[in-house]
Each structure stands twice: as structure tokens, then as C-alpha cells.
Amino acid sequence: MKLHYFPTPAATNTLSTADLRETFLIGGLFQPGAVVAHYTDLDRMICGAAVPTTAPLGLPADKELGTSFFLERREIGILNLGAAGTVKVGGTSYTLASLDCLYIGLGEKDVTFENGPSGQAQFYFVSTPAHAKHPTALARRADVTATPIGDVTKANRRTILKYIHLDGIKSCQLVLGFTEFEPGSIWNTMPPHTHSRRTEIYLYFDLGENIAMHFMGEPQATRHLVVRDREAVLSPAWSVHCGVGTGAYRFVWAMGGDNQVFADMDPAPIATLK
């Protein structure tokens, strides 16, 4: 499990393109027959992917966790980005179709990922520390309320789908969902914002051969990352996080921190950006 430690805003401004990508961008998550995980100091969030093939895969139990099993002191949200597959939690099996989400709470020791019969399941997951147990819960894509937002004249008309949040699946601190765009809209989270109470991880997906230009950094000292399909961006609390694609795409957002209030944001007006 790779560890990620983050520089200060001032130090970030001195990083080369290569160093910036090494620090804030994660690629190579979806490896057939493997679980890949990254441990960050963004509220101790872990992000990763499990791509089972012929054999089931389990959550890692690396020494970086400091516990005897992955969910001993953690909770996890899992979103299937591929064909249907199964996640087993103890003696219960949950079949996840594409874009279904499963939450598993603290204390579940036996968790495995299995491929489905119709294609390749591809499970993306984000985990945060937990202080109390919430029950395992499955949310179907078809049952999630879609919230339209944005303006087509500004090319940012999009729909937000929330899975793990205050009015949805209950958790200790994890908040997770994804955003998709209407035809012709390519800007996400513009105007941007920060939220010092929470940190965030973005995973861009369904980009195909397109790219996304992800903007990060302090509002008055922005930097950018060129992001490709199924690459994740780590976003500290002091950083803006917005982007634009050269074509259609979606992105998974996941947060951990002091609260779960989705609208708790500190705006960074366009006129102030540099």
C-alpha cells in the first residue's frame, strides 16, 4: 500500500510537473486480478480498486493500517464501475450492477470481491476511519435521487448522485457519490470552492480517449493536472478542485472530515482566481 504525504501550499507552488503528478495524482488503480490501495494523509483516507478475475479478492491488511484487518477501525464505500459483480460481507452476498454502491461499516472482517458471469466487475473504493458501526447498505443506481445543477450556457450542466451522505446511506464520516454531465457540458465544480473541514478524492472515469484538465492549488495560485481515464486526484482541504474535459466523462467524489454537510463550502469566485 503506497503512502501519500502532502506538502504545504507554499511548497506545492515550487513543484515541477512531474513532482506535482507524483504527489497528487494516482494512476494504475484498476489491475486485473489484483487489489491496489493508496493510504493518504487526507483525513487518513484510503482509495483503491479491486478487479477480480477467476479468484475472489480480499481487502488488504498491510502494516500501514496498524490493525489486524482492514475494517477493524474503518468504514468503506464501494462503487462498481464495470459489469455486475459480487461483494461478500461475512456470510451475505451483495450483487452490484454498474454504478451501484455498497457501504460496509466498522468491524466487518471478511470482505471479498468476486467477478460476475457477464463481464468484468471493477470495484472502486474509498475508506475513512470510523468510531462507530453503521450497518452494511446497498444503494442501486436506479434508486438514487439525481440532483441537476449548473447552467448549459456555461457548459456546466450536470447531475449529482449522492450515495453515502446525511440523507442517504449512513456513515461515520465518509461521503461518496458521482457526477455526470449533460451533452455539451464539460466543466465540473466551476466556480470552484474549498472546504477546510473536509478533504476529497476525485476519480475521473468514462473519459475514453479524452482528457480532463483538473485545476488544484490555492485560489490565487492555481496549478493543473492532466488526468486520464480512471485516474484519481487527491485534494487537500486548502485546494480548489474543478476541471474541464475534452469530451464526456463522469467523476466519483469522496470526502472525509469534520462534517458530512454537502453544501459546507468556501466559495472561490471566478474573479479572484489566478
Q: How distant, in Å, are the alpha carbons of 6, 18, 42, 203, 220 from that of 255?
A: 16, 26, 9, 12, 23
What DSSP designation does 166 have? T
Cell of 166: 446525511
Q: What is the mean pLDDT of residues 126-138?
A: 97
How many angstroms separate the CA atoms of 175 and 26, rounded? 20
What DSSP designation does 23 have? H
Q: What is the mean pLDDT of residues 153-175?
A: 95
pLDDT value of residue 4: 92
Contacts of residue 233, defined as CB under 8 A and 6 or more positions apart, other chains included, come to 24, 25, 26, 201, 202, 203, 204, 214, 216, 225, 227, 241
Contacts of residue 36, defined as CB under 8 A and 6 or more positions apart, other chains included, come to 28, 29, 30, 48, 49
Closest to 114 (Cα-Cα) out of 29, 38, 37, 33: 33
Q: Are 53 and 100 in contact (CB under 8 A)?
A: no
For the domain with range 2-272, which CATH number is right: 3.40.50.150, 3.90.1570.10, 2.60.120.10, 3.40.50.300? 2.60.120.10
Q: What is the mean pLDDT of residues 130-141?
A: 96
Calculate the CA dihedral of residues 118, 122, 128, 129 and round it to 10 degrees. 60
The three-class DSSP label of residue 46 is: strand
Q: Tens of pLDDT along 171-229? A: 999 999 999 999 999 999 888 988 888 899 999 999 999 999 999 999 999 999 999 99
Cell of 100: 451501484
Backbone angles phi, psi at 218, to 5 degrees: -70, 150
Residue with cell 440523507: 167
Whole-model pTM?
Answer: 0.95
Average confidence score pLDDT of the chain:
94
How many angstroms separate the CA atoms of 19 and 218, rounded? 17
One-letter identity of residue 60: P
Q: Tens of pLDDT along 8-43? A: 999 999 999 999 999 999 999 999 999 999 999 999
Instruction: Indicate the domain borders of the chain.
Output: 2-272
Cell of 91: 456470510
Backbone angles phi, psi at 24, to 5 degrees: -115, -10
